[in-house]
Structure 1
Amino acid sequence: MSAKLYTDWRAIPAHARGAVAALGNFDGVHLGHAHLVRTLHQARPDEPLAVVTFEPHPRELFRPQDPPFRLTLAEERFSALAALGVRDVFQIRFDEAFSQMSAEQFVSDVLHDALGLRHIACGHDFAFGHRRGGNTEFLAERACELGMGFTLVPAFTDANGPYSSTRIRRLLQDGYPERAAQELGRLWSIRGVVQHGDKRGRLLGFPTANVPLGRHLEPARGVYAATVRLENGRTHRGVANIGRRPTINDGRESRLEVNLFDFDGDLYGQTLSVALHVLLRPEKRFDGLDALKAQIALDAGQARDILDRPA
């Protein structure tokens, strides 16, 4: 059964009520999140599995001046949750009005009355309600009073401590997408719509698809071996650049540009998912376009070698 997405908590159909749900932001849907979902499923294996999450991330509402930090936007997050066996994703719009809701209202009006949940689970750091007025102790107590089961799931840890979105963001910003992939359980991807650029890549002999980073975290600037999934589901190997293109004095915001190997087609307007494998080199300014072109050829060859290796 394919997963279903519900974005209006006030209009949940009867057939979607009665689920058991994990609660949280689920940015990245990493191994710690997978542990939370699977622990809930083990506690109530005969019940439909759901997730209650929020869009946008509360931090985006409360701190709009912060640089973009998201590991996964809504569509990518939904796909990752579906891959974990989640049947229903209740994606609550986190706006100013919802942020004013008390902890009591969230539990009684949303989780119990609107969603009709039978059992809920969360990590120890889950906080909710106006000014984060509700904690796990309050949640456990009110869930019991309302007839909902409750599971507090211990953090999933390794030698470096608990798995967390913050830890994965740091790995990506430090230039280690392969280590981030180990903590995500899959390659980290940037998903976005291909936009028209200045066609400089085509003039250099390496046409690229230009994808704005948007609200995604900006990883370390530089050149990456990458794989690209198209809208039709096909996957192509490639080499990607993330940065501000200092050689041609671009000077604008950072962007993702990816050259798909052995591909000839029109990608404008398509949504691509670009997965980063390895950082080949940091962003660098070259002495002219000829030097840049020579380096791009070397980058492409290195990326091919890496992507040709057995997994």
Structure 2
Amino acid sequence: MPTLETTFYGHTYDNPFMNASGVHCMDVTELDELASSAAGSFVTKSATADGRKGNPEPRYVNLDLGSINSMGLPNLGLDYYLNYAILRQKSQPDAPFVMSVASYQGFDEYVDNMRQIQDSAYTGLVELNLSCPNVPGKPQMAYDFEDTKRLLTEIFKFYTKPFGVKLPPYFDMQHFDKIANVLNQFDLKFVNCINSIGNGLYIDETTDTVVIKPKGGFGGIGGEYVKPTALANVRALKQRLNPTIEVIGTGGILTGRDAYEHLLCGASMVQVGTQLQKEGVHVFERLTAELLAVLEEKGYQSIAEFKGKLGTLD
């Protein structure tokens, strides 16, 4: 039997599957359910300094080929998730996970949040979410390359623990080059790509209205719609980043074959968002079985045999 074991930042996980931050990770109950599921690991909700209720409902809708959302960073605040992370790290030291951190106010809040984690007892991986596309009036940090460099420079002045960044999708080869040039200047442990494709619009064919309330119906698109874009971002960044920076692939994972393609493009771990929202945590049992079946069909005994070995038609 092949194995789905994968190594990410020096730890071997039973399989590469995680939730995507924002899905089934709001509180202790949901986080514990993830920890007890068939997923290899998990990530917490992206935390802002203070708790947030988020945007008005309806703000998430399942679609035939994915989802649209404009959540507005609802979360219980940095103190809540940091306390959870410290307690879980102490009680389960051999089961590492990722803590996600965001900002609603911008540059200074990012810095202050990271300083609070630096001063805490938590020593595990942190995901700095630079790609929050669904906060009205707030731009995405990672689309401003100079500001991203300025932010990382400031954080690395004091932060000594391991962390990586979550990125939005990029659509131009020059943008892949530019963001990689910025990230390669820092001792980042990973990049996570992609967040949802921002500012999509979906129309209800019966009512001729948008389907979510915030931002006049504009929201982030996830699910099947985004897989080609997600794969392109995983591939492009893996080709451009320092070998020491690993990639987490997120976007459009409905089946084990989808996960296989993310790994083929160079991802070390993969995250599931829309399909987890639709199916619940049992989705990880199905996905691991399907990914194992793909390996068996291909004759592979491990992920390492094909990871990053996407063929081209050159």
Give the TM-score, by structure 2 length. Answer: 0.25
Instruction: Report 1 or 2 for greater relative contact order, CA contacts < 8 Å, sequence distance ≥ 6.
Output: 2
More strand by share: 1
